[in-house]
Amino acid sequence: MKNDIPSFLLFIFLSAGVPILSGQEQSDPFLWLEDIDGQQSLEWVKARNGRTVETLTGHSDFKDLNGKILSILNSRDKIAYPSIQGEMIYNFWQDEIHKRGIWRRTPAQEYAEQEPEWETVLDMDSLSDTEAEKWAFKEADFLCPDLDICMVRLSRGGSDAVEIREFDLRKKSFVENGFSLPQAKGGVSWIDRNTLLVATDFGPGTLTESGYPRIVKIWKRGTALAEAETLFSGNESDMGVWGFVINTPERQFVGLMRMITFFTMNHFLFDKGELKKIDIPEDAQLNGFFKNQMLVELKSDWTIEGKTYRQGALIGIDADRFLKGDRDFHVLRRPDEHSSLVSVSYARNYLLVNTLNRVRSELYRYTLAGTEWKSEKIPAPDFGALRVASTESFSDLGFFEYENFLIPGTLYRISGWEGQIEAVKSLPHFFKNGDLEVKQMEARSKDGTPVPYFLVAPKNLPLDGSHPTLLYGYGGFEISETPYYSGILGSAWLEKGGVYALANIRGGGEFGPKWHQAALKENRQRAFDDFIAVSEDLIRRKITSPSCLGIMGGSNGGLLVGVAFTQRPDLFSAVVCQVPLLDMQRYNKLLAGASWMGEYGNPDIPGEWEYIRKYSPFHNLAADRKYPKVLFTTTTRDDRVHPGHARKMAAKMESLGHDFFYYENIEGGHGSGVTNEQRAFMRSLEYMYLWKMLK
């Protein structure tokens, strides 16, 4: 899934075992492909990979295309995106020399220089060689405020499961006999130098049915993990339980979050030695703390003490007064039908509140004087996206980026109480864009709902239906699709005459919680109808035609394009179906699937399976229909969306006599690879396929 979702929501336990099957499931002749590392499964993968690679790499343009994409990924002109940690800026960097990457740092005052002097903290290639393990760096949790030690997360092959080890940032080495956790889907937070808040796999019975941690413990240095004190235990039916520690200049907040479903949760805070439940709606999100203000984002209307706070609002209240029973919130941001809240980032004396207005980014700087909130809009060009790169609660240093489809990303620095802003770094132009323009268009869905989409195309495009067009969509989990600059998309597609469209369909977050909730569970077909409507609109306007129209989507977007081509194969001539969900009868039994039942429904409940069955791509394939020749991509080490989805869909198509392309990378997790070579190869296959099918 994409990402404005907090990273701890994506930790999903890996379970390669095949569960007990019902009679209906036993009729599935392709279940053996769910055995991730089984010899028979991998032999099947190897054979299909071989056919795909031989065909697509055999084109005379493939070598140049792959070289161009790899050069973009390895470019030393890329922005080294910052992570502020006190007086230092940290960055993870990969290029042609550092294939698995280096974690490095430079003094904050030197970062804006053209070529700051970077100090390597951890070399992942060296670590992988030393330990004979294909490690991927995930992230690190710093001890605050000292920032001299951290817990580093290491992933095998890019999977979500991580091994977590204590690391000495002064010695630049792992701490001998320090805190260490074996591979699992979980997380840690520092309470103090000798105490961790831990959510992990503590052994049998300690995980939920979704595979997330069910128990949070307090672990003291010098004791065994098995001796850690249990702080909270959730239910096996919960999605998961995680602890959190939020450090601010005013105080430390220690608490935990029990996720009942992906979209409902309970929050708890330690107050005077007691764990207290935060009395807010279960679908509300505790956003953070600023100058002792507790900020809450609402996903539905909330009426409390005679006052109604609207769906989508960002509200705040003094944390101590709240714990004593006060419910008189301040409203920082009021929603409207065209806008949504993207993120809130915390500095010492200001907040950066990122919003969308008609799917166009607007960034606001909020300050608090006494009890009065003030805000100012940060100016930026149109048709673009703003993204906060890094802030830090103990300083007023911050970074944000602006980009759009044609303008490379520019990184801006904010500094000082007054929030002075200056551009400090920019991406180069990776492709020629002088003849291109961006428009925001609108289609009408089956039920009459207007659905916006962005179109990137040459100026004065002849409307004759002849243009190779790539339509991308996602439409799930309240994740918004916004403009972005991609050197790969530009050089591999736009520069060569391709047209690109980005759909803002229901299920996403472009217009707030209501836009997402409109396509949940029994209403999921609305997201698919929206995507089909955009496809039809592109054809109706004669921008393209079915013979020239391709679609692409990953993860939930892989489900989207899977439904699109099984319901309307007449509309498309190419489908790139990346790390997809496709067997919607068994998705809740594979890896993280059970955690998504709040989005799709529970296929084990007959009434819910009835509406899921109507769109499940795996169950709607037919022998007597003509489908486009789909390209399925996945990775063996994807422990979020099981590779069995793509494997089984391809195998079923094969059994019904339908041709396809298939490529499964061994590494990559829920993505396209760990190294830039792997990523470039996957992207090259995809674009080579698109040009082959749409010309």
The residues, ordered by sequence, that sit 6+ positions from 111 with a Cβ below 8 Å of its Cβ are: 82, 89, 424
pLDDT attached to residue 211: 87
| Mean pLDDT in residue range 549-560 | 98
Closest Cα partner for 284 from 301, 271, 270? Answer: 301
491 secondary structure, DSSP code: I
Between 27 and 641, the more confident residue is: 641
Give residue 16's pLDDT band: very low, low, confident or very high (50, 70, 90). very low
| Mean pLDDT in residue range 174-189 | 95
d(CA 251, CA 245): 11
d(CA 202, CA 215): 8
Q: Determine if residue 158 is left, alpha or beta; phi over 0 gives left, psi from -120 to 50 gives alpha, anything else beta.
A: left
Q: Are 279 and 302 in contact (CB under 8 A)?
A: no
Q: Are 197 and 254 in contact (CB under 8 A)?
A: yes
- Mean pLDDT over the full length of the chain: 94
Give residue 695's pLDDT band: very low, low, confident or very high (50, 70, 90). confident
Q: Within a 13 Å sphere around the CA of 454, how many CA atoms are in the beta-carbon half?
A: 25
Asked if the model's pLDDT at residue 238 lies above 80, the reply is yes
pLDDT attached to residue 404: 94
The terminus-to-terminus CA distance of the chain in angstroms comes to 31
Q: For residue 79, what are the CA distances in angstroms to 74, 102, 123, 421, 486?
A: 11, 15, 19, 18, 13
Annotation marks residue 670 as catalytic = yes
| Mean pLDDT in residue range 78-95 | 97
pLDDT attached to residue 152: 98
pLDDT attached to residue 552: 98
pLDDT attached to residue 9: 33
pLDDT attached to residue 639: 87
- pLDDT digits over 616-661, tens only? 999 999 999 999 999 999 999 988 999 999 999 999 999 999 999 9
Structure pTM? 0.93
pLDDT attached to residue 335: 85
Q: For residue 523, what are the CA distances in angstroms to 300, 569, 599, 614, 650?
A: 18, 22, 10, 12, 27
pLDDT attached to residue 670: 85
Rg of the chain on CA atoms, in Å = 25
Give the position of tokens 């103090």. 192
- pLDDT digits over 317-348, tens only? 999 999 999 999 999 999 899 999 999 999 99
d(CA 237, CA 261): 9
- pLDDT digits over 406-433, tens only? 999 999 999 877 778 999 999 999 999 9
d(CA 37, CA 537): 43
Within 10 Å of residue 173's Cβ, how many Cβ atoms?
Answer: 11
- pLDDT digits over 270-288, tens only? 998 899 999 999 999 999 9
Between 20-34, 117-131, 466-480, the lowest mean confidence (pLDDT) is in 20-34
- Cα 559 from chain centroid? 15
User: Which residue among 645, 670, 672, 684 is the active-site one?
Assistant: 670
Q: Is 545 exposed, middle or buried (0-12, 13-18, 19+ CB in 10 A)?
A: middle
Closest Cα partner for 4 from 411, 451, 510? Answer: 510
Give residue 673's pLDDT band: very low, low, confident or very high (50, 70, 90). confident
The answer to whether the bond into 249 is cis (omega within 30° of 0) is no
Q: Are 475 and 556 in contact (CB under 8 A)?
A: yes
pLDDT attached to residue 309: 97
pLDDT attached to residue 14: 27
| Mean pLDDT in residue range 479-494 | 97
pLDDT attached to residue 20: 35
Residue 649 three-state SS: helix
User: Which residue among 345, 555, 672, 684 is the active-site one?
Assistant: 555
Between 592 and 179, the more confident residue is: 179
Asked if the model's pLDDT at residue 27 lies above 90, the reply is no
pLDDT attached to residue 647: 98
- Cα 498 from chain centroid? 26
357 secondary structure, DSSP code: E
pLDDT attached to residue 5: 32
CATH number corresponding to 38-70+432-694: 3.40.50.1820
pLDDT attached to residue 277: 96
